[in-house]
Structure 1
Amino acid sequence: MHHPHGRLFPDALQREIKDRFHFVDHDPSGRERLFFENAGGSLRLKSVTARAAAVDAIPDCPERIHAVAVQLQDIQQRGTDDVRTVLNARGGAVYASLTASGGMFAVVRAIAENVPGTNMVTTVLEHPSAYDAISQYAERTGRELRVVPSNPQTGGIDADEVVKRIDAGTCLLSVIYASNISGAKVDVDAIVRKARAIKPDLFIVVDAVQHAPHGLIDLQKTPVDAMNFAPYKFFGARGSGFTWLSDRAAVLRHDKLSGKKADFWDLGSAAPWQFAAVTEIVDYVCWLGRRSTESADRRAQFEQGIEAIELHERALLHRLLDGADGVQGLRQLGGVTVHLDHPDLARRDLILAIGIEGLEHTQAVREYEKRGIIVYERVASSIYSRRMLESFGMTGAIRVSPLHCHAPSDIDRFLHVTGQIAAEQRAPATHVGVAL
C-alpha cells in the first residue's frame, strides 16, 4: 500500500525506539530539548556508541594471526557485508574513509584521471564534496563541466534535464539522492536508465549521504559505479565514511599500497570500530524489519525496517505540514512560509525549509533554541548552501529535520513553538509615552 500520508509506529514501539537513542528529549546537560537538526548530523543509537567504543578499546592490530586479531577481522568483514546490505550491492569494493566527502573526492579523481571523455555532468544541488570534486577535476583534466539546474517548483532535479546534458563524450555523471535543503528525492532510477540509454558505459556516482537513513536504496534496480553514505547521519558515529565501488570502478588506478590487490582502496590499517558501527546500525533496522517479515534474510529484514522508518517519517512530515488533533500545521500557521512545498510526500525525505515573516533566519534559529528546539539556518553566505539556494531563487531558510525516533507529540511541540514565534513577530510593538 502506498500510504500517501505515511503510517506511524504503534505507541509502544515508538517509546521503545526512542529509548534506543541518546538525547532525544534532553541535551547532554539534562536540559529539555528537541533535536530537529538531523540533516546536519543524527541522533545516535546507544548500541552504536557503546559497541564502537568497546571495539576501539581493543589494542590489537587486525592484520595479525592471533585470536583477537582474527576477531577484529571478522568484525570488519561483517561490517563490509553490511555496507552491501544497506545498498543491496553485489561484488565491487567497499572503501572505508575518515569521511564520506573524502571517499567522494577519491572516486571522482579515479574516474577523471582514467576514463576518457570530453565532459563531466553534475547538478546544482550537489553537496560541495561532490560538486567541488567534479568541478576541480574537470578543470584539471581540461573537460567541460555541465551543471543540471534545479526545479524550483519541486525542489529537486528533473531526470530529463540531466539526460539533456549526457552525450557520447560524457565520462562521469554525479547526482545526489535527495536534497539536504528541500528534502526532495531525485529519481535515480529514471536518471540511470535514461543516461545509460544514451551512453551504456557511462560512469555514474551517487551521493546517498542524506537519503540512506530515510529510504530504501537498491543497486540491483539502479546500477551505478559508486555510492557513499556516512554513519554519522545514519544513527551512527562521526569519523567514518563508506563508499561502494562497482567492479570496474574499483580497479581504476587510484592511491594504494603497491602490494595490495587492484581493487583495494583502504590506506593504512583498518579501524574495526567503523565496521562495528555499521553492523549495529543494520542490526537496529533489521530489528524493526522483523516485525513485518518472517524471513531470515538480512537484506529482506533491512528492507522492511527502512520501509517502516520511511512511512513513520512521512506521517511526521504530514503532521508538520497539515497538523492534527486540533494543532495547526505549518501550511496553516500565519506568518510561516513552507518553501519548496510539494503535495506528494512520497517524493520527500523528512526535511523542511521554512521561513518566518519578519525574522531573519539565523535569529529564528536562536529563538527556537531559547525554547528548547535545535534547527539550522541555510543561508546564502554559507559555502554549503549558496549554490543550492540561489538555484531556487532564495536567500535563506530555516531547515527542520526530525528523525523517525520522534513522536507525534514532538511534532506538536515544534508546531506550538513555531506558532508562538510567528505570532510574536506579527504582534504590534508596544510604545510607552514619557511625559516631559
Structure 2
Amino acid sequence: MITEKPGLMEEIRGRFAHVDTCPVTGPRIFFENAGGALTLKSVVETSATFAAIPDNQGRDNPASKELMRVIDQAKADMRTFFNVAGGQLFVGESGTEVLFRLIRSAINAAPEGGKLLGSTLEHPATRSAMGYWAEKTGREHVLVAHDDASGTVTVEAYKKALSPDLRVATILHTSPVTGMAVDVPAIAAAIRAAAPGCLIIVDGIQHASHGHIDIDSYGIDGYAISPYKVFSRHGYGIGWASDRLTALPKEQLRGGPAENWELGTRDTGAYATFSDVVDYFAWLGGQFTDSGDKRARIEAAAEAIHAHEKTLTDAMLYGTGNLKGLSEMAGVGIIGGVENPAREGLVSLTVEGVDAPDVVAALNDQSIRTHTRKADHYSGNVLEPLGLPSAVRVSLCHYNTLEEVAQFLAAMAEIAGETGAP
C-alpha cells in the first residue's frame, strides 16, 4: 500500500504539477481526474525541451537522428507499458481520433456484409464511429445492453448477441460515467469463438491510469488511450493495431512503408512525454518490487494504484474517521451501486433535491473540483435509462489522499443536509 510506506505519498505528489493548487483559483482538491489527470512535472519539462528543437525527423544530421532515437525509445516504452510484442504503435491527434481511425480502417477493410457489434455502455468515441460507418457500409450495428444496476456490461450479455457474421466489434475497458471496468479478455474470447475473423477494437482511455494494460492477453486487434488522462499532456493519442489489422488496406501515403499508420510528421515531444509516463510507473513500481524488469515494475505500480484507489473510494462510500460515507447520507444515490468490485477510482452520485450542477458548484465553493455529467451525447446512454438528467462525477487517482476524501465528505454532508455535519 502506498500509504504504508513513509514519505512515499509526499514523493508521489511532488512529481505532479498543480497537485493541490489550481493555477487560476489557488488551493483546491482535484477530484476531476477522469476529465484529465494531473500532469507529471517531467512531462512539462520534456514538452518545453522538444518544442524548442528546430530540426525535423528523417534528416542526415545529429539532431534529427536524436529525434528518431527518442521516438524509437518511446515506442519500446509503449510496448512495455501495453505489454504487446507484435503489431504497430502510433501517435494520432487524440484518443478519440485514434479510435475513429482504427474503427474506420477495420470496417472498410472487412469483408462485405455482416454485422458490427458494440454496447450501450460505450463512449461516443467508439459508438459514434461504429454507427457512422454502419450507415455508410449498409451494415447493422448491434448494441449489447449494459446493466443499469451495476453500471457495466458482462460477457453473458455479449454472448446473447454473438453470431458468425460479425465483422468488427468494440469494447469499452472502463466507463468514464459509472467508473466500472469491463472484462475485456472474456468478452474478446467469446467474440473470437463465435466469429474468428471479427476485428476487435478496445477503448482504453478511461482505464489506463487505474490499472495495468496487457494487450497480449486480450486477443484483440486495436487499443487506444488518451495520454492526458494518464499523466501526460493534451494534443495526442496513442493507438495500437495488430499485425492482422495493419496488413489490411488503410489510409496511408502511397509508396510509404506498408506498416505505417501515421499521417504526416508527428510531434517528437509527444512520444518523449510518454516515455516520462512509463518511467514514472516504473519508478513507482520500484517502491514495491526489487525486480529490475520494467514490465514487472509497471505491474507492481498498477497493483499499488488499484489498492490505494480502492481505499479512497471505500472511504468515500463508507466513511472515514468520524465522517459518514456517501452510502450513509440520506438522499445520496450511487450510480452502479455501493458494493461493486468493478469500480475503478470513480464514484458518480446524485443528491435528492439538489441538481448535480449545484452540487458541483457548492463543492467548488469549498475548493473541491468535481464534474457534472449530463444526459447528453456523452453520458445520456447511462443516465437516461436511470431517469437522471445529470449526475456528479467524483474521480480519483493514486496521488489523492484520505485527508482530501475527508474534506470532500465533510462538504457533502453539508450539501446533503446531514444533521450534525461539520
TM (norm. structure 1) is: 0.93
Matched position secondary structure for 2:26: coil
Q: Distance in 2 between matches of 1:348 and 1:223?
A: 23
Q: Is the 8 A contact 1:7 1:315 kept in 2?
A: no
Matched, 1:64 2:56: no
Alpha-carbon separation, structure 2, partners of 1:7 and 1:303:
14
The equivalent residue for 2:394 is 400
Shift, 1:23, TM fit: 1.3
2:221 corresponds to which of 225, 230, 237? 225
Residue aligning to 1:132? 128
Residue of structure 1 aligned with 2:382, choices 383, 388, 405: 388
In structure 2, distance between residues paired with 1:125 and 1:94: 26
Deviation at 1:264, TM superposition (A): 0.3
Post-superposition CA distance 1:313-364 (Å, at most 9, x none)? 111111111112222111112332222224243x211111111121111121
Size of the alignment, in residue pairs? 420
* Equivalence map 1:297-376=2 (5 Å): 297-345=293-341, 347-376=342-371
Let me know the Cα RMSD of the aligned residues. 1.7
- Report the 3-state secondary structure (helix = DSSP H, G, I; strand = E; otherwise coil) of the residue aligned with 2:216: coil
Counterpart among 226, 235, 242 of residue 238 in structure 2 = 242
Which is worse superposed, 334-343 or 63-72? Answer: 334-343
Contact 1:62–1:270 at 8 Å: present in 2 too?
no
Query: 1:158 and 1:393 mapped to 2: Cα distance?
Result: 22
2:43 corresponds, among 33, 44, 48, to 48
Cα distance, 1:210–1:9 mapped onto 2, change above 3 Å: farther
Question: Are 1:34 and 1:374, in contact at CA under 8 Å, matched by a contact in 2?
Answer: yes
Q: Which amino acid aligns with 2:317?
A: L
Kept after mapping to 2: 8 A contact 1:8/1:311: no
The answer (yes or no) to whether the contact 1:8–1:315 under 8 Å persists in 2 is no
For 2:336 and 2:253, the matched residues in 1 are separated by 47
The one of 406, 411, 416 equivalent to 1:417 is 411
Partner deviation per Cα, 1:386-405 (whole Å, 9 max, x = no partner): 12222444332100002110
Unaligned 5+ runs, structure 1? 1-5, 428-436
- Please state if 1:14 is matched with 2:9: yes
Residue 199 of structure 2 corresponds to 203
Q: Do the aligned residues in 2 keep the contact of 1:62 with 1:73 (CA within 8 Å)?
A: yes
Q: Identify the residue that residue 105 of structure 2 maps to in structure 1.
A: 110
> Conserved in 1, the CA contact under 8 Å of 2:114 and 2:166?
yes
**Aligned ranges for residues 138-217 of structure 1 at < 5 Å?**
138-217=134-213
- Alpha-carbon distance in structure 2 between the residues aligned to 1:30 and 1:364: 18
State whether residues 95 and 236 of structure 2, in contact with CA within 8 Å, keep that contact through their aligned partners in structure 1: yes
Q: Percent identity at matched positions?
A: 33
Structure-2 change in CA distance of 1:8 and 1:183 (3 Å): farther
2-side partners of 1:151 and 1:425: how far apart?
34
Residue 74 (structure 1) aligned with residue 69 (structure 2): yes
SS in 2 for 1:70: helix
Number of the residue aligned with 1:431: none
- 2:23 is paired with a residue whose SS is coil
Structure 2 gaps of 5+ residues are: none
Distance 2:60 2:160 in 1: 54
C-alpha distance in structure 2 between counterparts of 1:389 and 1:344, whole Å: 18
Match among 83, 87, 90 for residue 92 of structure 1: 87
User: Aligned letter for 2:61?
Assistant: H
SS of 2:328's equivalent in the other structure is: coil
Taking the aligned partners of 2:275 and 2:240, their CA distance within structure 1 comes to 16
Whether contact under 8 Å (1:365, 1:376) holds in the other structure is yes
CA shift for structure 1 position 209: 0.3
SS in 2 for 1:39: helix
Shift of 1:30: 5.9
Q: Distance in 2 between matches of 1:34 and 1:121?
A: 39
Structure 1 residues 105, 348: CA separation in 2 closer, same or farther (over 3 Å shift)? same
AA paired with 1:58? I
Q: Secondary structure at the match of 1:95?
A: strand
Write the mapping of 1:271-310 to structure 2, written as runs, cut at 5 A: 271-310=267-306
Deviations 1:127-148 (A, max 9, x none): 1111000000011000011001
Q: Give the TM-score, by structure 2 length.
A: 0.96
> Is this contact kept in 1: 2:148–2:382, CA < 8 A?
no
Match of 2:34 among 20, 36, 39: 39
Please, which moves more after superposition, 48-57 or 67-76? 48-57
| Per-residue deviation, 1:293 | 2.0
Query: Measured at CA, do residues 84 and 364 of structure 1 come closer, stay the same or move farther in structure 2, by a change above 3 Å?
Result: same
Query: How far apart are 1:170 and its partner, in Å?
Result: 0.5
Measure the CA separation in 1 of the matches of 2:308 and 2:349: 21
The Cα of 1:166 is off from its aligned counterpart by 1.8
